[in-house]
Amino acid sequence: MNARIAARTVRTLLLTRSQVETLVNSSLLVDRLRDGFVAYSATSSNRARRVRSAFPNSAGSATVLFPGTAPGVPAYTVKVHAKFPNESPAIRGVLCLHDLATGGLLAVMDSTYLTAIRTGIAGALAAHVLARPDAELAAIIGAGVQGTFQLRALANMRPLKRVWVYDIVAERAEAFAQAMGKELSLPIEVAPSVSSAVGQAAIVLAATWSKAPLILPGMLAPGTHVTTLGPDEPGKAEVAASLVQEGLFVCDDRDLAVELGAVGGVGLGPEVVDAELGEVLSGRHPGRTSSSQITIYGGVGLAFQDTVTAWQAYEAARSRGIGSEIDFLG
Protein backbone atom coordinates (compact mmCIF):
# COMPACT_ATOMS: atom_id res chain seq x y z
CA MET A 1 0.00 0.00 0.00
CA ASN A 2 2.80 2.41 0.90
CA ALA A 3 4.58 1.73 -2.39
CA ARG A 4 1.39 2.45 -4.31
CA ILE A 5 0.88 5.70 -2.41
CA ALA A 6 4.49 6.73 -3.01
CA ALA A 7 4.15 6.00 -6.70
CA ARG A 8 1.01 8.16 -6.94
CA THR A 9 2.75 11.13 -5.35
CA VAL A 10 5.48 11.30 -8.01
CA ARG A 11 5.09 14.48 -10.04
CA THR A 12 6.70 14.43 -13.45
CA LEU A 13 8.80 17.36 -14.64
CA LEU A 14 8.17 18.46 -18.24
CA LEU A 15 11.06 20.10 -20.09
CA THR A 16 10.99 21.61 -23.58
CA ARG A 17 13.82 21.68 -26.08
CA SER A 18 14.76 25.29 -25.29
CA GLN A 19 14.74 24.55 -21.55
CA VAL A 20 16.98 21.51 -21.97
CA GLU A 21 19.38 23.64 -23.99
CA THR A 22 19.80 26.06 -21.07
CA LEU A 23 20.24 23.25 -18.54
CA VAL A 24 22.96 21.09 -20.11
CA ASN A 25 26.52 22.09 -19.22
CA SER A 26 28.71 20.85 -22.07
CA SER A 27 31.97 21.31 -20.14
CA LEU A 28 30.81 19.06 -17.30
CA LEU A 29 29.27 16.63 -19.75
CA VAL A 30 32.61 15.76 -21.35
CA ASP A 31 34.01 14.16 -18.19
CA ARG A 32 30.74 12.44 -17.34
CA LEU A 33 30.49 10.90 -20.79
CA ARG A 34 34.15 9.86 -20.63
CA ASP A 35 33.50 8.06 -17.33
CA GLY A 36 30.35 6.53 -18.81
CA PHE A 37 32.18 5.04 -21.79
CA VAL A 38 34.83 3.54 -19.50
CA ALA A 39 32.18 1.99 -17.26
CA TYR A 40 30.15 0.74 -20.23
CA SER A 41 33.08 -1.15 -21.76
CA ALA A 42 34.13 -2.59 -18.39
CA THR A 43 30.96 -4.65 -17.97
CA SER A 44 28.99 -7.16 -19.99
CA SER A 45 25.67 -6.28 -18.34
CA ASN A 46 23.16 -3.57 -19.25
CA ARG A 47 24.41 -3.37 -22.82
CA ALA A 48 22.58 -0.93 -25.06
CA ARG A 49 19.55 -2.02 -27.04
CA ARG A 50 17.97 -0.34 -30.02
CA VAL A 51 14.67 -1.29 -31.59
CA ARG A 52 13.97 0.27 -34.98
CA SER A 53 11.05 0.15 -37.38
CA ALA A 54 10.32 1.98 -40.62
CA PHE A 55 6.93 3.62 -41.06
CA PRO A 56 4.77 2.20 -43.88
CA ASN A 57 4.52 4.45 -46.95
CA SER A 58 6.81 7.02 -45.33
CA ALA A 59 10.43 8.18 -45.42
CA GLY A 60 10.50 8.14 -41.62
CA SER A 61 11.53 5.58 -39.04
CA ALA A 62 11.18 5.13 -35.29
CA THR A 63 13.85 4.02 -32.84
CA VAL A 64 13.73 3.17 -29.14
CA LEU A 65 16.95 3.29 -27.06
CA PHE A 66 17.06 1.47 -23.73
CA PRO A 67 17.93 0.71 -20.98
CA GLY A 68 19.77 3.92 -20.19
CA THR A 69 21.74 3.48 -16.97
CA ALA A 70 25.01 4.96 -15.74
CA PRO A 71 27.09 4.60 -12.56
CA GLY A 72 26.14 7.18 -9.95
CA VAL A 73 22.83 8.06 -11.61
CA PRO A 74 19.78 6.86 -9.61
CA ALA A 75 17.61 6.84 -12.70
CA TYR A 76 17.15 5.10 -16.04
CA THR A 77 15.99 6.37 -19.41
CA VAL A 78 13.92 5.18 -22.33
CA LYS A 79 14.13 7.33 -25.48
CA VAL A 80 11.77 7.26 -28.42
CA HIS A 81 12.96 8.93 -31.62
CA ALA A 82 11.56 9.53 -35.07
CA LYS A 83 13.83 10.20 -38.03
CA PHE A 84 12.64 12.14 -41.07
CA PRO A 85 15.71 13.07 -43.16
CA ASN A 86 13.88 15.76 -45.16
CA GLU A 87 12.59 17.63 -42.12
CA SER A 88 14.28 20.09 -39.76
CA PRO A 89 15.17 18.93 -37.23
CA ALA A 90 15.50 15.55 -38.92
CA ILE A 91 15.62 13.71 -35.59
CA ARG A 92 13.03 14.44 -32.93
CA GLY A 93 11.55 12.65 -29.97
CA VAL A 94 11.09 12.44 -26.23
CA LEU A 95 13.07 10.98 -23.36
CA CYS A 96 11.51 9.52 -20.23
CA LEU A 97 13.60 9.65 -17.05
CA HIS A 98 12.52 7.14 -14.38
CA ASP A 99 13.47 6.57 -10.76
CA LEU A 100 15.77 3.53 -10.78
CA ALA A 101 14.40 2.20 -7.47
CA THR A 102 10.67 2.59 -8.06
CA GLY A 103 10.16 3.19 -11.77
CA GLY A 104 8.46 6.50 -11.01
CA LEU A 105 8.44 8.88 -13.97
CA LEU A 106 10.68 11.75 -12.89
CA ALA A 107 10.72 13.72 -16.12
CA VAL A 108 9.68 13.80 -19.76
CA MET A 109 11.86 16.00 -21.92
CA ASP A 110 12.38 16.81 -25.58
CA SER A 111 15.38 14.81 -26.72
CA THR A 112 16.40 16.74 -29.84
CA TYR A 113 19.06 18.96 -28.30
CA LEU A 114 20.00 16.37 -25.68
CA THR A 115 20.79 13.79 -28.37
CA ALA A 116 22.65 16.26 -30.55
CA ILE A 117 25.03 17.49 -27.86
CA ARG A 118 25.83 14.12 -26.32
CA THR A 119 26.48 12.65 -29.79
CA GLY A 120 28.66 15.57 -30.82
CA ILE A 121 30.75 15.43 -27.67
CA ALA A 122 31.22 11.66 -28.00
CA GLY A 123 32.36 11.95 -31.61
CA ALA A 124 34.77 14.76 -30.80
CA LEU A 125 36.08 12.94 -27.72
CA ALA A 126 36.91 9.90 -29.83
CA ALA A 127 38.61 12.12 -32.40
CA HIS A 128 40.66 13.88 -29.74
CA VAL A 129 41.81 10.60 -28.18
CA LEU A 130 42.57 8.77 -31.43
CA ALA A 131 43.98 11.57 -33.59
CA ARG A 132 47.66 12.46 -33.61
CA PRO A 133 48.55 14.84 -30.77
CA ASP A 134 49.69 17.46 -33.31
CA ALA A 135 46.61 17.19 -35.56
CA GLU A 136 45.17 20.68 -36.07
CA LEU A 137 43.56 20.55 -39.53
CA ALA A 138 39.98 19.27 -39.66
CA ALA A 139 37.37 18.42 -42.27
CA ILE A 140 33.62 18.39 -41.72
CA ILE A 141 31.62 16.14 -44.03
CA GLY A 142 27.97 17.06 -43.66
CA ALA A 143 27.23 20.64 -42.63
CA GLY A 144 24.31 19.71 -40.42
CA VAL A 145 23.59 19.56 -36.71
CA GLN A 146 26.30 17.02 -35.98
CA GLY A 147 28.91 18.86 -38.00
CA THR A 148 28.21 21.87 -35.79
CA PHE A 149 28.23 20.05 -32.45
CA GLN A 150 31.28 17.92 -33.21
CA LEU A 151 33.39 20.83 -34.44
CA ARG A 152 32.37 22.98 -31.47
CA ALA A 153 33.28 20.20 -29.03
CA LEU A 154 36.56 19.35 -30.75
CA ALA A 155 37.63 23.01 -30.76
CA ASN A 156 37.16 23.01 -26.98
CA MET A 157 39.38 19.94 -26.62
CA ARG A 158 42.36 20.88 -28.81
CA PRO A 159 43.61 23.86 -30.82
CA LEU A 160 42.57 23.82 -34.47
CA LYS A 161 44.31 25.83 -37.19
CA ARG A 162 42.03 25.43 -40.23
CA VAL A 163 38.83 23.63 -41.22
CA TRP A 164 37.33 22.51 -44.53
CA VAL A 165 33.63 21.71 -44.89
CA TYR A 166 31.78 19.79 -47.58
CA ASP A 167 28.06 19.26 -48.02
CA ILE A 168 26.03 18.11 -51.03
CA VAL A 169 24.09 21.38 -50.63
CA ALA A 170 26.66 24.09 -51.31
CA GLU A 171 24.57 26.81 -49.66
CA ARG A 172 24.47 24.83 -46.44
CA ALA A 173 28.25 24.47 -46.45
CA GLU A 174 28.63 28.22 -47.04
CA ALA A 175 26.31 29.04 -44.15
CA PHE A 176 28.19 26.60 -41.90
CA ALA A 177 31.55 28.11 -42.79
CA GLN A 178 30.40 31.63 -42.04
CA ALA A 179 28.56 30.85 -38.79
CA MET A 180 31.09 28.47 -37.26
CA GLY A 181 34.07 30.45 -38.49
CA LYS A 182 32.75 33.48 -36.64
CA GLU A 183 31.78 31.53 -33.51
CA LEU A 184 35.10 29.72 -33.18
CA SER A 185 37.35 32.38 -34.72
CA LEU A 186 38.63 29.79 -37.18
CA PRO A 187 39.31 29.98 -40.92
CA ILE A 188 36.73 27.61 -42.44
CA GLU A 189 36.77 26.99 -46.18
CA VAL A 190 34.11 25.31 -48.31
CA ALA A 191 35.62 22.36 -50.19
CA PRO A 192 34.41 21.41 -53.69
CA SER A 193 34.37 17.68 -52.93
CA VAL A 194 34.71 15.09 -50.19
CA SER A 195 38.12 14.13 -51.54
CA SER A 196 39.36 17.70 -51.43
CA ALA A 197 38.15 18.21 -47.86
CA VAL A 198 39.50 15.03 -46.29
CA GLY A 199 42.74 15.02 -48.27
CA GLN A 200 43.89 18.19 -46.53
CA ALA A 201 42.79 17.22 -43.02
CA ALA A 202 44.30 15.28 -40.13
CA ILE A 203 40.90 14.88 -38.45
CA VAL A 204 37.71 14.10 -40.37
CA LEU A 205 34.28 14.41 -38.74
CA ALA A 206 31.55 12.85 -40.89
CA ALA A 207 27.82 12.74 -40.16
CA THR A 208 25.60 12.31 -43.21
CA TRP A 209 22.60 10.32 -44.42
CA SER A 210 24.74 8.51 -47.00
CA LYS A 211 23.81 4.95 -47.95
CA ALA A 212 27.10 4.30 -49.73
CA PRO A 213 30.72 4.94 -48.69
CA LEU A 214 31.93 8.44 -49.57
CA ILE A 215 35.35 8.32 -47.88
CA LEU A 216 37.29 6.03 -50.17
CA PRO A 217 40.77 4.46 -50.44
CA GLY A 218 43.39 6.94 -51.57
CA MET A 219 41.59 9.98 -50.13
CA LEU A 220 43.20 10.03 -46.69
CA ALA A 221 46.74 11.06 -45.86
CA PRO A 222 48.71 8.72 -43.57
CA GLY A 223 47.89 9.33 -39.90
CA THR A 224 44.40 10.72 -40.49
CA HIS A 225 41.62 10.09 -38.00
CA VAL A 226 37.99 9.71 -39.12
CA THR A 227 34.93 9.89 -36.87
CA THR A 228 31.93 8.48 -38.75
CA LEU A 229 28.55 8.95 -37.09
CA GLY A 230 26.21 8.72 -40.06
CA PRO A 231 25.83 4.91 -39.98
CA ASP A 232 23.52 4.49 -36.98
CA GLU A 233 20.98 2.16 -38.56
CA PRO A 234 21.11 -0.57 -41.25
CA GLY A 235 21.70 0.58 -44.80
CA LYS A 236 23.96 3.57 -44.09
CA ALA A 237 27.71 3.88 -44.73
CA GLU A 238 30.37 6.59 -44.97
CA VAL A 239 33.79 4.88 -44.85
CA ALA A 240 34.81 2.22 -47.38
CA ALA A 241 35.22 -1.36 -46.18
CA SER A 242 38.92 -1.54 -47.10
CA LEU A 243 39.70 1.51 -44.93
CA VAL A 244 37.84 -0.03 -41.99
CA GLN A 245 39.78 -3.27 -42.48
CA GLU A 246 43.19 -1.65 -42.83
CA GLY A 247 42.90 1.03 -40.17
CA LEU A 248 42.45 0.89 -36.41
CA PHE A 249 38.69 0.67 -35.96
CA VAL A 250 37.15 1.73 -32.63
CA CYS A 251 33.42 1.76 -31.85
CA ASP A 252 31.12 2.51 -28.93
CA ASP A 253 29.59 -1.00 -28.90
CA ARG A 254 31.01 -4.01 -30.76
CA ASP A 255 27.71 -5.76 -31.41
CA LEU A 256 25.87 -2.64 -32.53
CA ALA A 257 28.71 -1.62 -34.85
CA VAL A 258 28.11 -4.84 -36.75
CA GLU A 259 24.34 -4.94 -36.38
CA LEU A 260 23.61 -1.41 -37.57
CA GLY A 261 26.77 0.70 -37.60
CA ALA A 262 29.80 1.48 -39.75
CA VAL A 263 31.01 -2.14 -39.77
CA GLY A 264 27.81 -3.86 -40.83
CA GLY A 265 26.97 -1.03 -43.19
CA VAL A 266 29.84 -2.08 -45.48
CA GLY A 267 29.31 -5.82 -45.08
CA LEU A 268 32.03 -6.54 -42.53
CA GLY A 269 31.95 -8.56 -39.32
CA PRO A 270 33.19 -8.32 -35.71
CA GLU A 271 36.73 -9.33 -36.62
CA VAL A 272 37.52 -5.79 -37.84
CA VAL A 273 36.65 -4.15 -34.51
CA ASP A 274 39.86 -3.43 -32.61
CA ALA A 275 38.40 -1.84 -29.47
CA GLU A 276 35.54 0.04 -27.90
CA LEU A 277 36.03 3.69 -27.03
CA GLY A 278 35.74 2.92 -23.32
CA GLU A 279 38.66 0.51 -23.60
CA VAL A 280 40.85 3.19 -25.18
CA LEU A 281 39.81 5.82 -22.65
CA SER A 282 40.60 3.47 -19.74
CA GLY A 283 43.98 2.43 -21.15
CA ARG A 284 42.93 -1.20 -21.64
CA HIS A 285 43.65 -0.68 -25.36
CA PRO A 286 46.50 1.59 -26.50
CA GLY A 287 44.55 3.24 -29.30
CA ARG A 288 46.79 4.84 -31.92
CA THR A 289 50.25 3.28 -31.98
CA SER A 290 51.97 5.27 -34.75
CA SER A 291 51.79 8.68 -36.39
CA SER A 292 51.07 7.10 -39.80
CA GLN A 293 48.20 4.90 -38.65
CA ILE A 294 44.69 5.56 -39.98
CA THR A 295 42.21 5.51 -37.10
CA ILE A 296 38.43 5.32 -37.43
CA TYR A 297 35.73 5.76 -34.81
CA GLY A 298 32.24 4.57 -35.62
CA GLY A 299 29.59 5.37 -33.02
CA VAL A 300 25.89 4.51 -33.16
CA GLY A 301 24.96 6.24 -29.89
CA LEU A 302 24.26 4.47 -26.61
CA ALA A 303 21.44 4.82 -24.10
CA PHE A 304 23.77 5.61 -21.19
CA GLN A 305 24.74 8.82 -22.99
CA ASP A 306 21.09 9.88 -22.81
CA THR A 307 20.94 9.06 -19.10
CA VAL A 308 24.05 11.04 -18.19
CA THR A 309 22.83 14.07 -20.14
CA ALA A 310 19.20 13.88 -19.01
CA TRP A 311 20.17 13.52 -15.36
CA GLN A 312 22.34 16.62 -15.58
CA ALA A 313 19.40 18.52 -17.10
CA TYR A 314 16.99 17.18 -14.50
CA GLU A 315 19.17 18.11 -11.53
CA ALA A 316 19.76 21.59 -12.93
CA ALA A 317 16.06 22.08 -13.59
CA ARG A 318 15.16 21.10 -10.04
CA SER A 319 17.75 23.40 -8.49
CA ARG A 320 16.80 26.33 -10.72
CA GLY A 321 13.05 25.83 -10.67
CA ILE A 322 12.75 25.36 -14.44
CA GLY A 323 9.99 23.35 -16.12
CA SER A 324 6.40 22.49 -15.30
CA GLU A 325 4.97 19.51 -13.45
CA ILE A 326 2.19 17.05 -14.08
CA ASP A 327 0.82 14.05 -12.18
CA PHE A 328 0.38 11.35 -14.79
CA LEU A 329 -1.14 9.03 -12.18
CA GLY A 330 -3.64 11.61 -11.01
Residues 133-187 have pLDDT tens digits of 999 999 999 999 999 999 999 999 999 999 999 999 999 999 999 999 999 999 9
Report domain extents, the chain. 2-115+304-317, 117-302
CATH topology classification for 117-302? Rossmann fold (3.40.50)
Indicate the pTM of the whole model.
Answer: 0.94
Query: 96, 108, 113, 94: which is closest to 25 by C-alpha?
Result: 113
Q: What is the pLDDT of residues 217-275, one digit of tens each?
A: 999 999 999 999 999 999 999 999 999 999 999 999 999 999 999 999 999 999 999 99
Tell the burial category of 324 from Cβ atoms under 10 Å away from its Cβ (0-12, 13-18, 19+).
Answer: exposed
Using DSSP's 3-state secondary structure scheme, residue 185 falls into coil
Listing DSSP states for 129-171 in one string gives: HHS-TT--EEEEES-SHHHHHHHHHHHHHS---EEEEE-SSHH
SS3 content of the chain, % helix, strand, coil (to 5): 40, 25, 40
Can you give the pLDDT at residue 9?
Answer: 60
Per-residue pLDDT of 65-122, as tens digits, reads 999 999 999 999 999 999 998 888 888 999 999 999 999 999 999 999 999 999 999 9
Q: Which CATH number fits domain 2-115+304-317: 3.40.50.300, 1.10.240.10, 3.30.1780.10, 2.30.30.40?
A: 3.30.1780.10
